[in-house]
Amino acid sequence: MSKIDVFISEEQIKQRVKELGEEITRDYKNSDRKLLLIAILKGSVVFLTDLMRNIDCDLMIDFMIVSSYGSGTSSSGNVKIVKDLDSSAYQHDILIVEDILDSGNTLSKVIEILKTRTPHSLKVCALLDKPDRRVSHVDLDYKGFEIPDEFIVGYGLDYDERYRNLPYIGVLTAENM
């Protein structure tokens, strides 16, 4: 694996994920409903496993796989569910856990779909936010880091399925492609 410069270090990620977990714990600990964390595969897996261990509430996890189809290289607003939830979202407190919010196309569609399942509440947590790229509006309730418009990899995020196992977040450059 070629060397990628550190953009957000392991230590910075660890600290921020701890803070997010504490914030989420405060917001949900007095709820008498079950908290359901929903991660959208695959990029969010690393973040989910760290975040959930920093949340001190009763919770469940579930996964969705969605594919966005259409023309072009960036995601479109057409989202197809490839793997749906195993659990019911009905009357649960849902927290969607995402790696990165980019155009917002995928997430805004997923939110639309989940809202039809009448959860008790629905919030969104994203580790990274690239606001310059936004096309579809998404309300972010919990945000790790706001980043500029760069293509980043590591900590679950890939370039052509590579670099997900980097323990830190780095910016992809031409020599790493």
What minimum distance in Å lies between the beta carbon of 43 and Mg ion?
5
55 binds ligand IMP (CB under 6 A): no
Q: Which residue, among 63, 30, 69, has the nearest Cα to 47 in the 3D structure?
A: 63
119 binds ligand IMP (CB under 6 A): no
154 binds Mg ion (CB under 5 A): no
Q: Residue 105: which of ligand IMP, Mg ion, none does it interact with, CB under 5 to 8 A by kind? A: ligand IMP
Can you count the helices (H) and strands (E) in the chain? 3, 9
Q: How far apart are CA 81 and CA 62, in angstroms?
A: 14
**Catalytic residue at 102?**
yes
Q: How far apart are CA 174 and CA 69, in angstroms?
A: 26
Q: Which residue, among 54, 48, 60, 43, has the nearest Cα to 19 in the 3D structure?
A: 54
**Binding Mg ion by CB under 5 A: which of 35, 40, 43, 98?**
43
- The nearer residue to Mg ion, 43 or 170, going by C-beta atoms, is 43
Active-site positions? 102
